[in-house]
Amino acid sequence: MTGVGGGQASRVSVARCDTYAKDSMRSAVEGMLETLGGMGVFVRPGERIALKPNLLLAKPPQAAITTHPLLVEVVAELVREAGGEPVLIESSAAGMPQFHRGMERVLRRTGMREMADRIGLEVDVEGDTRAVSLPEAQLTKRLDLLTSALDADGLISLAKFKTHTFTTFTGAVKNLFGCVPGLTKAGYHAKLSDVDHFADMLLDVHQALRPRLSLMDGVLALEGDGPGTGGTPRELGLLLASADALALDAAACRIAGIPEEAVPVFRRARVRGYQGWASGETEIVLHGLDRLPLEPFRRPKRALDPTGYNTTGRLQRLVRELGKQALTPRPRPSSERCTGCRTCSRACPVGAIRMRDRLAVVADDRCIRCYCCHELCPEAAIDLELSRMGRVAERLGLV
């Protein structure tokens, strides 16, 4: 079986780009695309091309949580020059409550609205969806996806270079989860709290959408307890591009010092027989760099290790639940930082969060440890804490 996005051997371009300056970014992107054959390989005249950035939260670009609008601007211009019609699409989970108003706030705060208005880029964040059947999918045989993604002639994933408390790393493959509509995202989190199952679902989404091209914004990256406000911005000064989203993510993890076996998407890709994306298989072409930079990232302190979570026997299920309750971190709203905005309670797929005296309270017995609340809290007020047993295990070096 070939790689997720390309042929037997995938090619990844990595370019130095130290600043969000238009000329520098344009030059870097053009250099990367030249290595891949140019934008004309991915866009034909008259085609409608969906541009899918990561717009997780209504936060400014300097927070390093969302794709920088300048990268979207440059790619939109290159799509137009190739004769295509670009359109920005997204269904941010942060836009779930009062969808249109929420999405507009995300667009404004991330700088996307100003950029789109300035260059006349169409924006489609209406949230209309269509169910698609995937008989060949490994896990999710039916998916609800944005019609704006399904109806486009082609799709370009514009990801952000970030660590992730649930999937260890989030890049071009997981960025496509944003094409699952906001409220449906919460449902998938509830059903797929097993991280390997979740990774299989992400690969199924990718199979349904098959982006023609993926780019990653690593000029300012995010490390630690990402992908939201719990992470820490880090100057990396890199852009990445590939026709194979999985290869792109693997190259990013190699740069960040994150082993492939620590990332659930890569583990499941191996099981599914995808080839051409892993270290040693991928051709990496450098622009403005003498060698591939290795910049070890601070990984999530609370990254989940799914080992042992896939067992099915009665005893194993009991052990799994005990481990889930005792040895996985629990969301804990901070009384000092929580503003009572209810974002977490609205986002919780199982209704495990309620408000008490304008403070969010999590019911541990109902929490499925999907960490949607941690990701989406606009005030970084949701901490992840181990139980007493978990803290003892942590001191013993067991977790």
* Domains delineated in the chain: 11-287 (3.40.50), 314-395 (3.30.70.20)
pLDDT band at 142 (very low <50, low <70, confident <90, very high): confident
pLDDT at 326 > cutoff 90: no
pLDDT at 186 > cutoff 90: no
Reported residue count of the chain is 399
Q: Are 55 and 375 in contact (CB under 8 A)?
A: no
From the CA atom positions of the chain, what is the Rg in Å?
20
pLDDT band at 138 (very low <50, low <70, confident <90, very high): confident
Q: What percent of the chain has pLDDT over 70?
A: 85
Tell me the mean pLDDT in the region 293-310. Answer: 67
User: What pTM was computed for the model?
Assistant: 0.82
Structure confidence by residue, pLDDT tens digits, 229-274? 999 999 999 999 999 999 999 999 999 999 999 999 999 999 999 9
Mean pLDDT of the chain: 87
d(CA 353, CA 304): 21
Structure confidence by residue, pLDDT tens digits, 196-225? 989 999 999 999 999 999 999 999 999 999
Q: What is the 3-state secondary structure (H, E, C) of the chain?
A: CCCCCCCCCCEEEEEECCCCCHHHHHHHHHHHHHHCCCHHHCCCCCCEEEEEECCCCCCCHHHCCCCCHHHHHHHHHHHHHCCCEEEEECCCHHHCCCHHHHHHHHHHHCCHHHHHHHHCCEEECCCCEEEEECCCCCCCCEEEEEHHHHCCCEEEEEEEEEEECCCEEECHHHHHHHHCCHHHHHHHHHHCCCHHHHHHHHHHHHHHHCCCEEEEEEEEEEEECCCCCCEEEEEEEEEEEECCHHHHHHHHHHHHCCCHHHCHHHHHHHHCCCCCCCCCCCEEEEECCCCCCCCCCCCCCCCCCCCCCCCCCHHHHHHHHHHHHHCCCEEEECCCCCCCCCHHHHHCCCCCEEEECCEEEECCCCCCCCCHHHHHCCCCCEEEECCHHHHHHHHCCCC
> pLDDT at position 176, please?
97
pLDDT at 10 > cutoff 60: yes
> pLDDT at position 315, please?
46
- Which of the residue ranges 29-33, 105-109, 164-168, 392-396 would you say has the lowest mean pLDDT? 392-396
| Cross-strand bridge partners of residue 50 | 87, 155
Q: Are 358 and 340 in contact (CB under 8 A)?
A: yes
More confident residue, 302 or 233: 233
Strands 129-133 and 122-124: unpaired
pLDDT band at 328 (very low <50, low <70, confident <90, very high): low
Q: Are 222 and 162 in contact (CB under 8 A)?
A: yes
d(CA 122, CA 142): 29
pLDDT at 97 > cutoff 70: no
pLDDT band at 6 (very low <50, low <70, confident <90, very high): very low
Structure confidence by residue, pLDDT tens digits, 344-388? 998 887 899 999 999 999 998 888 777 788 878 999 999 988 777
pLDDT band at 324 (very low <50, low <70, confident <90, very high): low
Greatest Cα pair distance in the chain: 61
d(CA 119, CA 8): 38
> pLDDT at position 397, please?
43
pLDDT at 108 > cutoff 50: yes
> pLDDT at position 94, please?
60
- Which of the residue ranges 34-38, 93-97, 130-134, 311-315 would you say has the lowest mean pLDDT? 311-315
Tell me the mean pLDDT in the region 166-178. Answer: 96
d(CA 337, CA 355): 14
> pLDDT at position 140, please?
82
Q: Are 84 and 76 in contact (CB under 8 A)?
A: no
> pLDDT at position 7, please?
44
- Which of the residue ranges 1-15, 55-69, 118-132, 274-288 would you say has the lowest mean pLDDT? 1-15
Tell me the mean pLDDT in the region 7-33. Answer: 93
398 C-beta neighbours (distance < 10 Å), count: 9
> pLDDT at position 284, please?
96
| Cross-strand bridge partners of residue 233 | 222
Cα distances (angstroms) measured from residue 75 to each of 89, 121, 172: 14, 11, 15
> pLDDT at position 311, please?
37
pLDDT at 335 > cutoff 50: yes
d(CA 142, CA 204): 9
pLDDT at 95 > cutoff 60: no
Q: Are 276 and 3 in contact (CB under 8 A)?
A: yes
d(CA 376, CA 387): 23
